[in-house]
Amino acid sequence: VAFAANPAFDATTMEVWGPLLTGGRVVVVDPDAFLDPSALARLLEEEGVTVLFVTTAVFNQHAAAIPAAPAGLRHLLTGGERADPASFARVLAQGGPVRLVHCYGPTETTTYALTHEVRSVPPGAQTIPLGRPISNTHAYVLDARGEPVPVGVAGELYVGGDGVALGYLDRPELTAERFVADPFSDEPDARMYRTGDLGRWLADGTIEFLGRADHQVKVRGVRIEPGEIEALLLEHPAVHEAVVLVREDAPGEKRLVAYWVGADGAE
């Protein structure tokens, strides 16, 4: 199993403890090699890596540069941002790994909560499903009153089960807002995490991602609150108004861009 994540990233729980607890071998990947498609392709072959996780942004980059490299993998897992169906199709067209898996799971639910094995990509597909809950995990799509919505109707995605974290350290108000009682569980103290992501159940029993219920964005797998950046910009005396957006002028190349209006008399 390739250990390619930053040790502070939640994917480390799978990359390190997964293989060590089940008799596997951990292959430590140098960060520079991980971001260099040709160097990563050589490392996967030389070290005999069979399991690799990459964030969506890195997957898109490598799918364009080395689409045939994953063919030697048993499991290639990717997730963290809205999926690009064309990247999945490109890897599958080159033979693909034995299992190509789209993963979904906020850090608050301990790495993965839903997974979807991608075996084919329909022509013209706009999204890749988030999938179904993994073992000991529950997924709910709820309306504003906390009631389950029918198949095909948009709602907010909640995740319950054994993977739900205890909360945020020293942030009781935010913990109470995001970690709420699970009324659908038989366990008396069960809780679920309010993800802030919008989704809907599909007819095949998988969940489709529809965006955010707030203004939070993700850039290269990192959660960012544009409002926090805007607030800091507004502290500058020369700035009267400011707005921060994510732009993707080239496919897969996301960047934060700030627009601002100068204060009267500012130079």
pLDDT in tens, 197-208: 999 999 999 999
Has residue 101 got a pLDDT over 80?
yes
Average pLDDT, the chain: 91
Has residue 265 got a pLDDT over 80?
no
How confident is residue 251, by pLDDT bands cut at 50, 70 and 90?
low
One-character DSSP codes across 41-110 = HHHHHHHT--EEEEEHHHHHHHHHH-TTGGGG-SEEEEESS---HHHHHHHHHTT--SEEEEEE--GGG-
DSSP three-state, residue 17: helix
Has residue 151 got a pLDDT over 90?
yes
Has residue 103 got a pLDDT over 90?
yes
pLDDT tens column, 33-62:
898 999 999 999 999 999 999 999 889 989
Amino acid at position 255, single letter: R
